[in-house]
Structure 1
Amino acid sequence: MAKLRTVAVLAGAALLTRRALRRRIQASPLWPMPALENPTSGRPRSRALRLLVTAHETVAEGVVQLRLEGRDLPRWEPGAHLDLVLPSGVVRQYSLCGDPADTSAYTVATRLVEGGRGGSREVHEQVAEGMELEVRGPRNRFPLVAARSYVFIAGGIGITPILPMLRALGDGVEWRLLYCGRSRESMPFLEEVEKLGGDRVTVVTGRPDLDALDVPGEAAVYCCGPEGLMAAVEERYPQVHLERFTPHAAPGAAFEVELRRSGRTLTVGADSTVLAAVRTELPDTAYSCEQGFCGTCQQRVLEGEVEHRDELLTDAERGDSMLICVSRARSERLVLDM
């Protein structure tokens, strides 16, 4: 890898267009990052919007891209995602992969997951041009941070949050991309990525050799793709920035949950969730994504220590609430205001 220039990128602070972001990156050898709030992350959560599906097209083998049009849409930054409320009512999260400066439309893409929970199949088979969909967001928990250089690792559909980052960085910043997939035909946006990066892009079909990857110590590492790929990257580079749309499973012990207003006490097994246990007693309890992203199942915690596993709540919210679909107890007992 060529000698890397010192660069810093402001991401997650001001609402910058792609051109403005590139101009600022190239203008200074070091750009301090001010401590400003990221407008597309955490709370307050963006209002729901009704957008029109104006394009539903296949962009790779098993991958469909949606264009969702509206007016004066909230701007977003590379790494941001949308919550889509699908026709069945389920909520799924998809990375924005279009142009952040385009306030007339959002673009997302999804791969058909055989044997999944049905969201991707619904997008592929039931969503159509001319249909209106509710969207929430955008939110960004995968922002482009200040770094001297960048190494990106994408597996298949995992290219979607990374592609806007590459466009924003352009030619003035040192970056490299390892893009892997089952076959070239299954890799979305491959032609654009290769034109954009030239010899900075390494394309691998099959299993990548991560040990051969040249990662300078000062580089920011970004990875999105199948869980196996992300786990392998995280093992080698603990500082990696990851984008997950499925809960990161971890072992847990059984514990008790008291539902204070209902006067009931439940046992949550090591292989179960608080949501599953609660719904055996309170079947009308609201939920949607079951992955810790949408916030539908948020509940107030009156007593006990929570092991937060969600990707949504702010530190302040975690002080007295939890998402019961994924989070668990650190203590032997939790008391919920239910």
Structure 2
Amino acid sequence: MTPYDTELVVERREPAAEGVLALTLRHPLGAELPAWEPGAHVDLVLAPGLERQYSLCGDPADRGSWRIAVLREPDGRGGSAHVHRRLRPGDGVRARGPRNHFPLEPAGRYRFVAGGIGITPILPMLAAAEAAGADWSLLYGGRTLRSMAFTGELARYGSRVTIAPEDETGLLDLPSVLDGLPDGTLVYCCGPGPLLDAVEERCPAGALRTERFRPKERPAGAAAEFEVVLARSGRTLAVAPDVTVLDAVRAAGVEVLHSCTEGTCGTCETEVLEGVPDHRDSVLTEAERAAGETMLICVSRCRGRRLVLDL
């Protein structure tokens, strides 16, 4: 199936918090947009060579528009600055997706933890959990109340939501949410790396689902040369120690959809037909890594001498 890739227009631009802009995107001709589920993100091509991923934080039932929220990052790589300084209602922006590596799995009980702009993928999950009649709660932290997006929308959930600005309450009280979790509880967390690491330390095995905006720190491991066989053409490529699989494949003239090149967006996920990947991404679950059926070729390598990929 051809991935959705088209020009959309900015319909609305409005502040969601201090330093956070919410953008509503529509098709210029009013066409329906692809369906999506909570946890999904889209790629926006903001300028040549400037492509970024943003979580969809609107209503999945609304097929006429997509909503995203963008935090202004003064020390970022240019994506948020472009959105905040240049995108205005009526402007066009190329969109690809949606993709979902952070899906809300069925459960009777959820505990959600969000930090800062990490509330964006969590927001539609809350509505889905509420509609399903699940037992759920949200612990939401940020630097200040003014910097925390969508607190007005969250007010309708009452005591299920705990808003905890760090300048008023200190660091998030994770033990109150995560200690003694009943069996079958799923924990969903999105936010800064230190928060995700702290939640990961407290969660029972198999209970946690995360999405990272920055790559997780992992030991680099030995970087040895190996071979990649492109199954569709039968070509064999040598991947040098200082070259990624993605770069080797592209240098051979094979184009692969990719975006972040950091192992966080999942765009370059590729099926593995033979061989054992050395997973170095921040997207796949431990179960998916153990299965070895796919890999993110922008960062992951090979545990051995040969991989056969569905390319």
Match of 2:83 in 1: 123
Structure 1 residue 253 corresponds to structure 2 residue 222? yes
1:79–1:188: structure 2 CA closer, same or farther, 3 Å change rule?
A: same
Match of 2:38 in 1: 78
Structure 1 residue 182 corresponds to structure 2 residue 143? yes
Deviation at 1:258, TM superposition (A): 4.8
Q: Cα deviation per residue 1:116-171 (whole Å; 9 max; x = unaligned)?
A: 22222222223222121121222222222222211110001111111112123337
Aligned residue runs from structure 1 range 168-317, under 5 A: 168-170=128-130, 172-193=133-154, 195-206=155-166, 207-213=171-177, 216-218=181-183, 219-237=185-203, 238=205, 239-251=207-219, 252-258=221-227, 266-268=240-242, 274=244, 278=248, 282=251, 288-292=259-263, 293=265, 295=267, 305-310=276-281, 311=283
Contact 1:259-1:337 at 8 Å conserved across structures: no
1:45–1:309: structure 2 CA closer, same or farther, 3 Å change rule?
A: farther
Larger relative strand fraction: 2
Of 70, 83, 107, 1:147 maps to: 107
Deviation at 1:176, TM superposition (A): 0.9
1:337–1:282: structure 2 CA closer, same or farther, 3 Å change rule?
A: farther
- Alpha-carbon separation, structure 2, partners of 1:265 and 1:105: 42
> TM-score, normalised to structure 2's length?
0.78
- Alpha-carbon separation, structure 2, partners of 1:199 and 1:337: 49
Q: Cα deviation per residue 1:27-74 (whole Å; 9 max; x = unaligned)?
A: xxxxxxxxxxxxxxxxx5632122111122221111111111122111
Deviation at 1:189, TM superposition (A): 0.2
Unaligned ranges ≥5, structure 1: 1-43
> TM-score, normalised to structure 1's length?
0.72
Contact 1:154-1:178 at 8 Å conserved across structures: yes
- Alpha-carbon separation, structure 1, partners of 2:259 and 2:186: 33
Match of 2:299 in 1: 326
Count of aligned residue pairs for this structure pair: 286
Match of 2:11 in 1: 54
1:204–1:331: structure 2 CA closer, same or farther, 3 Å change rule?
A: same
Paired residue type of 1:289: C
- Alpha-carbon separation, structure 2, partners of 1:300 and 1:73: 27
Contact 2:107-2:134 at 8 Å conserved across structures: no
Sequence identity percentage: 46
Cα RMSD for the two superposed structures:
3.4
1:197–1:337: structure 2 CA closer, same or farther, 3 Å change rule?
A: closer
Contact 1:79-1:165 at 8 Å conserved across structures: yes
Unaligned ranges ≥5, structure 2: 230-234
- Alpha-carbon separation, structure 2, partners of 1:221 and 1:150: 6
Paired residue type of 1:209: D
1:294–1:128: structure 2 CA closer, same or farther, 3 Å change rule?
A: farther
Deviation at 1:196, TM superposition (A): 2.1
